């Protein structure tokens, strides 16, 4: 199963990062979103990232231009008809993702793999929206995609070995490290990370310590590069809440119950760095 042409659905932070590493690895990339200005914004982020690489002398100007030339702008899911693999990186909402997969199934060639960058949602359920569940798989990239090495590869119930093998090989071509994971809520990364963040929020909520103290304990005591509350702000508190709700619903266990303070901040619009305020304020 040869992969040469890639379509990335979603030109936001994750989608543009995935598109960038695919183009750097030599793939032709269709970068798709609902509107052309969103696609252009994603490409502008990619240009800035590549310009930094040129400034740091990690690539030259010709290499940069060669990478940018591999992009094709797309605002129509019918462009999936040209792809060997489609990587969906839309909003983390199961209904929206299933609708996208249903449409992609109509347009993508019979041989094409349909992958999702979901951080917590069930691959098997998304696969059920298609007539090719054996060709549906999870590729959970870490943020920021150009920097982070890990990709969780998640098999659905019906995913064929040949499909897994092709995605594993592609991941290695992207200079990432593939790790095989089974289809459970949150997979490995967020099943471990999000309850830790949630517990840090509870620690703040119960007045055990200040936010600065909680983050300092985890940085200096556990050697984490940033504290859990700072990390939550960078991820987005709405995303953290959604993943905790997915874990809570998926396992039916109260140990995954989102902290009321996390809910309160999200309702207030304090979503973290992207909104200018979360546990910390950002100018």
Catalytic, 119? Answer: yes
Say whether 15 counts as a known binding-site residue.
yes
Say whether 233 counts as a known binding-site residue.
no
Annotated catalytic residue, options 32, 117, 119, 120? 119
DSSP string computed for the chain: ----EEEEE--SHHHHHHHHHHHHTT-EEEEE-SSHHHHHHHHHHHHHHHHHHHHTTSS-HHHHHHHHTTEEEE--GGGGGG-SEEEE---S-HHHHHHHHHHHHHHS-TT-EEEE--SSS-HHHHHTTSS-GGGEEEEEEPSSTTT--EEEEEE-TT--HHHHHHHHHHHHHTT-EEEEE-S-TTTTHHHHHHHHHHHHHHHHHTTSS-HHHHHHIIIIIH--SS-HHHHHHHH-HHHHHHHHHHHHHHH--GGGPPPHHHHHHHHTT--BGGGTBSSSB--
Say whether 120 counts as a known binding-site residue.
no
Say whether 143 counts as a known binding-site residue.
yes
- On the CB side of 236, how many CA atoms lie within 13 Å of its CA? 11
Say whether 250 counts as a known binding-site residue.
no
Say whether 175 counts as a known binding-site residue.
no
Say whether 16 counts as a known binding-site residue.
no
Say whether 33 counts as a known binding-site residue.
yes
Annotated catalytic residue, options 16, 49, 190, 198? 190
Contact 136, 7 (CB under 8 A): no
Say whether 51 counts as a known binding-site residue.
no
Contact 31, 15 (CB under 8 A): yes
Annotated catalytic residue, options 16, 32, 74, 152? 152
Catalytic, 49? Answer: no
Annotated catalytic residue, options 74, 140, 160, 198? 140
Catalytic, 190? Answer: yes
Say whether 273 counts as a known binding-site residue.
no
Nearest to 151 by CA among 135, 169, 136: 169
Catalytic, 32? Answer: no
Annotated binding site: 10-15, 33, 92, 97, 119, 143, 274
Active site residues: 119, 140, 152, 190
Annotated binding site for NAD(+): 10-15, 33, 92, 97, 119, 143, 274
């Amino acid at each position: 199963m040869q992969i040469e042409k890639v379509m990335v659905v979603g030109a936001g932070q994750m989608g543009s990062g995935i598109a960038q590493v695919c183009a750097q690895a030599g793939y032709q990339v269709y970068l798709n979103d609902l509107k052309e200005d969103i696609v252009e914004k994603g490409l502008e982020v990619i240009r800035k990232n590549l310009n930094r690489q040129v400034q740091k002398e990690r690539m030259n100007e010709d290499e940069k231009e060669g990478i940018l030339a591999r992009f094709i702008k797309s605002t129509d899911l019918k462009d999936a008809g040209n792809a060997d693999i489609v990587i969906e990186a839309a909003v983390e909402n199961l209904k929206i993702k299933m609708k996208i997969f249903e449409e992609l199934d109509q347009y993508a060639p019979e041989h094409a793999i349909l992958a999702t960058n979901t951080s917590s949602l069930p691959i098997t359920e998304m696969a059920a929206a298609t007539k090719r569940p054996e060709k549906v798989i999870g590729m959970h990239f870490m943020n920021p995609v150009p920097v982070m090495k890990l990709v969780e590869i998640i098999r659905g119930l019906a995913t064929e070995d040949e499909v897994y093998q092709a995605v594993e090989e592609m991941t290695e071509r992207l200079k990432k490290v593939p790790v095989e994971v089974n289809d459970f809520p949150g997979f490995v990364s967020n099943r471990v990370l999000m309850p830790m963040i949630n517990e840090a929020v509870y620690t703040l909520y119960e007045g055990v310590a200040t936010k600065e103290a909680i983050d300092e304990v985890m940085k200096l005591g556990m050697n984490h590069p940033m504290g859990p509350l700072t990390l939550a702000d960078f991820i987005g508190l709405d995303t953290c809440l959604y993943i905790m709700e997915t874990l809570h619903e998926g396992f039916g266990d109260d140990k995954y119950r989102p902290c009321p303070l996390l809910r309160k901040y999200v309702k207030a619009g304090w979503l973290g760095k992207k909104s200018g305020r979360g546990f910390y304020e950002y100018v």
